[in-house]
A and B are shown apart, each in its own frame.
Chain A
């Protein structure tokens, strides 16, 4: 029941998370920051802009991204297979990539290529994480994870740590905000979207927040208070990291993901399998 509500109102919750994040970020930079409802103001404003399409396929792919993203979340929350949720997320990002590379703007094309690099970096990590959950809980089903009476985080400390460092890649945050890179490619894949179509991307991001933090929540097992603490901790950690690092090169990101994060997670999985 709760998960159904969260799924349906995911854009709204995501918006709040994003609103809080903007305030937190501003405070970390000793600024006042925007009001909490700012993302929604942006949302309604974009609604009202004149819609300009590059071509219909491009616009369609933007909307596809939003829908697939929402679908991935629905699959995740409504008690289906974790692995399927991960693959739906892949589809969502692929829609974005295909849309972005279908236009002439070189920023958009570069952004699409970089987005692919992101996928190469974080998707194996996601799969590994799901596998590690399976090894702990013995099931791919989210319900079983949420009813697991142990503490998954105790079995998966390295996986949690690796996932913590993967979140910036998923959410486009410094040091891994490479596909968005405002100062380099002006938003990358999203550059050619405007008005209501940009909105699809803008809100898609919010859903991604919920999607990512649900995974963090899972590390608490059936102890929801632990899950909540982990979510708050990782939220703060990611934002602090965002505010204390420069953007790295995509080569470094891929190397970091494959040389550090994935081995760490794999080590944890191997240890689990052995014990």
Chain B
């Protein structure tokens, strides 16, 4: 499979989920799809389907109401996958840190690989983040780390019941 791994670098398919941020980051995701920044140059497509996605792009601080959906999406994505938390919200909740209905960042719910700083990060920052995510993704698929990782324990750690 080493041969195939070479190509994953060039075809990251994105799944985007907003977990209660301010839309700011989502607007910028739309802006990167637009002609000026055109993220399809990297082969990235916004598939909107967890089963076919490689990069989970999460915006927002994760509200308690969004938590379970986020977990489900993460588990539905086939390995190997990368999680990118976009914006200050994704890291510790940003300005929403310690509000009563907020989980203080994506990292408290699912493992995150890349954090993009900014509020809102501009499209250049998002592109940088995606490039970084692709590198990590490639490393992950080389290490085959996910093969060991994807065990019953991990599912239990995430606290989801089989649906």
Residues of A at the B interface (CB closer than 8 Å) are: 22, 26, 29-35, 37-38, 40-45, 47-52, 182, 186-187, 191-195, 198
Contact = CB atoms under 8 A, between A and B. Distances in A.
Interface string B48-61: 11011010000000
Contacts of B54: 45, 49
A4 B40 CA distance: 34
Contacts of A51: 78
Nearest to A196: B78
A35 B41 CA distance: 7
A44 B41 contact: no
Interface in B11-53: 11, 13, 35, 38, 40-43, 47-49, 51-52
Nearest to B147: A50
A187 B49 contact: yes
Q: Which label, helix, strand, loop or mixed, suits the secondary structure of the A interface?
A: loop
Contacts of B8: 44-45, 48
A38 B11 contact: yes
B79 A50 contact: yes
29 contacts: A29-B35, A32-B40, A32-B41, A33-B41, A34-B43, A37-B10, A38-B43, A41-B10, A41-B43, A42-B13, A42-B43, A43-B7, A44-B6, A44-B7, A45-B4, A45-B7, A45-B10, A48-B1, A48-B5, A48-B7, A48-B141, A49-B54, A49-B78, A50-B78, A51-B78, A52-B51, A194-B52, A194-B78, A198-B52
B4 A47 contact: yes
A98 B11 CA distance: 29
Contacts of A30: 35
Given A33-B41, A48-B5, A52-B78, A41 B35 contact: no
